[in-house]
């Protein structure tokens, strides 16, 4: 094949994988390279720490054997929020069931016009997307056609998860590729209010048998976040 033809194909593929941050400016980020979580940026729950340059959201032992409780997660409520733009994070989710993880953005209040966007993982290779408009939830899993991820599990490596919202639509991105879009309509309003960022790792009252976890001594594996960045 002629070199120019190969270059054309390469540029076409690259453009498909290029996320919206390519045309935007980085305005806020956390690479989690410090020894401690920056509490000027984050509100921090129990069991959340920095491990090997990554944010680690643990599931903690409960009051009784075989019982576990969530870490409470982290969020930037009251410390940082962004109006429109693109927010992306590099995340490794969990494999075992009985505890769920989430990455989301949302308005400070729950009064119209309020909205929130989210990714959720309940263990394994599946991931769901959700949009909340005031008190109405619109969640769904992604079909194989919509999900551009390779076959490796979400729990085995880091992938990029991103949200973009504009006055015209809400968009979910996976590894820089557009996965799902909801257009603004009379029943789905946009929100001009800034959104804050949150990461959560929660467990059911009884999360499962010890033998189900990769490390029974520690219980369920943590959710890891390598970095989070905001573009406008």
pLDDT of residue 217: 62
pLDDT of residue 7: 38
Contact predicate 204/99, CB 8 Å: yes
pLDDT exceeds 50 at position 124:
yes
CA distances from 72 to 20, 44, 121, 199 (A): 30, 8, 16, 9
The model's pTM is 0.85
Q: Return the minimum-mean-pLDDT range out of 6-10, 43-47, 96-100.
A: 6-10
In 10 A of CB 140, how many CB atoms?
A: 11
Taking the C-alpha atoms of residue 135 and residue 141, their distance in angstroms, rounded to an integer, is: 20
Q: Is the dihedral of CA 115, 190, 163, 142 positive or negative?
A: positive
Q: What would the two tokens of residue 140 be?
A: 């769904």
Contact predicate 48/58, CB 8 Å: yes
Contact predicate 61/93, CB 8 Å: no
Over range 19-30, report the average pLDDT.
Answer: 92
DSSP string, 114-134: -EEEEEEE-SSS--EEEEEET
Summarize pLDDT for 81-122 with one digit per residue, the tens.
999 999 999 999 988 777 789 999 999 987 888 899 999 988
CATH topology of domain 21-231: Jelly Rolls (2.60.120)
Best-predicted range by mean pLDDT (32-41, 114-123, 218-227): 32-41
pLDDT category at 2 given cuts 50, 70, 90 is very low
pLDDT of residue 13: 39
For the chain, count helices (H), then strands (E): 1, 17
pLDDT of residue 167: 93
Q: What would the two tokens of residue 87 be?
A: 């927010």
| DSSP-assigned beta bridge partners for residue 64 | none
8 φ, ψ (degrees, to nearest 5): -65, -45
């Amino acid at each position: 094949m002629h070199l120019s033809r190969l270059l054309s194909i390469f540029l076409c593929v690259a453009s498909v994988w290029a996320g919206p941050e390519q045309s935007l400016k980085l305005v806020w980020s956390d690479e989690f390279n410090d020894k401690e979580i920056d509490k000027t940026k984050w509100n921090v729950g129990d069991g959340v720490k920095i491990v090997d340059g990554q944010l680690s959201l643990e599931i903690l032992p409960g009051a009784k054997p075989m019982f576990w409780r969530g870490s409470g997660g982290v969020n930037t409520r009251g410390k940082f929020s962004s109006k429109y733009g693109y927010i992306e994070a590099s995340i490794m989710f969990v494999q075992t069931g009985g505890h769920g993880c989430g990455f989301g953005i949302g308005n400070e209040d729950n009064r119209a016009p309020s909205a929130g966007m989210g990714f959720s993982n309940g263990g394994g290779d599946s991931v769901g997307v959700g949009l909340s408009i005031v008190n109405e939830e619109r969640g769904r899993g992604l079909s194989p056609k919509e999900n551009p991820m390779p076959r490796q599990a979400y729990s085995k490596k880091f992938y990029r998860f991103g949200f973009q919202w504009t006055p015209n639509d809400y968009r979910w991105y996976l590894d820089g590729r557009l996965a799902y879009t909801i257009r603004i309509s009379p029943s789905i309003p946009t929100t001009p209010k800034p959104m804050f960022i949150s990461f959560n790792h929660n467990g059911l009252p009884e999360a499962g048998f010890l033998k189900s976890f990769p490390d029974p001594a520690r219980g369920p594996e943590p959710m890891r976040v390598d970095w989070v960045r905001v573009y406008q």
